[in-house]
Amino acid sequence: MTGYLLKNCAAVIVNDGNGPTVRRNVDLLTEGSAIKAIGENLAAAPGIQVQDATGWFVYPGLVNTHHHFFQCFVRNRADLDWTKLSVIEWLDRIYPVFSQLNEECFYHSSVTAMAELIKHGCTTAFDHQYNFPRHAGKRLIDRQFEAADLLGMRFHAGRGGNTLPKSEGSTIPDAMLETTDEFIADCARLIDTYHDAKPFSMRQVVVAPCQPVNCYRETFVESVSLARDRGVFLHTHVGEGESPVIEARHGKRTVDYLEELGFAGPDAFYAHCWELTHGELKTMAASGTGVSHCPEPVYLVGAEVTDIPAMAAFGLRVGLGCDGAASNDNSNLMHCLHSAYMLQCLVASTRKHAVPNPADFLGYGTTGGASLLGRPDIGRLAPGMAADLFAIDTRRMDYVGTRHDPVSLIPRVGIGMATDMTMINGRIVWQDGAFPGLDEAKLAADAEAALATVEF
């Protein structure tokens, strides 16, 4: 059996299911896909590679619960500044740009996003891929699974889609429209082809119509039926400026609308949710519906900081997401832990409920994300759990004065560099500034070449 023995870790953030604890000066042993043991003076059996981990803080791999990988090809564009636009206005501007991407763009942008995520400690990524231009074909998520295999990423693919024509009130160009039947048929195909529900699964599929404002009611009804029949999860955008539109169309705001359709429950999670009332948050908590909080877009919207303290007080399951590069120009989930905590500190004096502890934000990025994706096998370090982790060598000036509290380090202080090592499913996928077995310079050049084939 192959595996790794990380010797003399300065700290390992262990969680036996009752919250994180710090174990100092211990070893961590992996065997195959799983963690075998955490303790002092562990021995390496034949086939186990020994890694000197002196000075390392070892963390559970981060779990990204909302992203749009394809948007990596529209980063850093001054002409798409949504700080001066409402969300709906911004969508009207950005979707025509999205509709021009081709299949190679979707593949290489996925490689780009996953590579950056891995560099910064993310080991499981959910992507909400809702952009299916007709000219690009239907195999876009197939190519995403190909990208995940290349990099070794544990990948949950959200098969999104948009079905409501612009002539009926959506923000979607005709080039990006699908029928409900098209959308559901391809969801079923992807589930049959890729979905693996076994422990340590590297591939799962989520039924994820883009957002209620851009889909027919029947799209959501059929999504619920398919997901429940096949035992997969549900996802969509909620509470990011669309609630008044949904109320005008359907006579109720988005949360109540989705509750009525059955698009809620322990197998469903929504992205964003910054505009929701306390009553709506309590409704979600009662049904078990989760929230993927994406802190970076909150800076751009500038309207309201997502009420994470209320969500915590009401018992909502909360995870973290990067969101796409149209509203967050990086794919660094570790940075989002710091952003999420600092945003809550900014408005703490205006809120009824206290800001959760910094350690809770590490939890949102690990066990919280695992809960949203229905993965009891990831998100924490303990024997029997998946060997998904990352390590930071703290023997640097950046960490002087911080090392007494490893659990709060990332949310409170922030990490300004890539990890020293990232491991996924027992395999080292990033170490010492390189992807083992891959040429990063070539990956970047290939991605730039794919981007150059499209004129925006």
Q: Which residues contact 109 (CB under 8 A, 6 or more apart)?
A: 69, 70, 71, 72, 73, 101, 447, 450, 451
Range list of H helices, 251-302: 254-261, 278-287, 295-301
Tokens of residue 381, six digits: 């370090």
What's residue 77's pLDDT? 76
**Rounded CA separation 312/242 (Å):** 23
Residues of the chain with pLDDT under 50: none
Tokens of residue 109, six digits: 């942008």
What's residue 82's pLDDT? 64
Q: % helix / strand / coil in the chain, to the nearest 5?
A: 40, 20, 35
Query: What region does 347 belong to: left with phi over 0, alpha with psi -120 to 50, or beta?
Result: alpha
Tokens of residue 156, six digits: 């949950």
Beta strands in 186-313 (DSSP E): 203-207, 233-238, 268-272, 290-293
Terminal CA-CA length for the chain: 50
What's residue 85's pLDDT? 74
Q: Which helix (H) or strand (E) holds 148?
A: helix 140-151
415-438 in b/e form (b: 16+ CB < 10 A) is beebbbbbbbbbbbbbeeeebeeb
Please spell the DSSP secondary structure of 56-102, one letter per residue.
Answer: EEEEEPEEE----GGGGGG-S-GGG-GGGS-HHHHHHHHHHHHTT--
pLDDT tens for residues 247-297?
Answer: 999 999 999 999 999 999 999 999 999 999 999 999 999 999 999 999 998
Around Cβ 441, how many Cβ atoms within 10 Å?
A: 8
| The model's pTM | 0.97
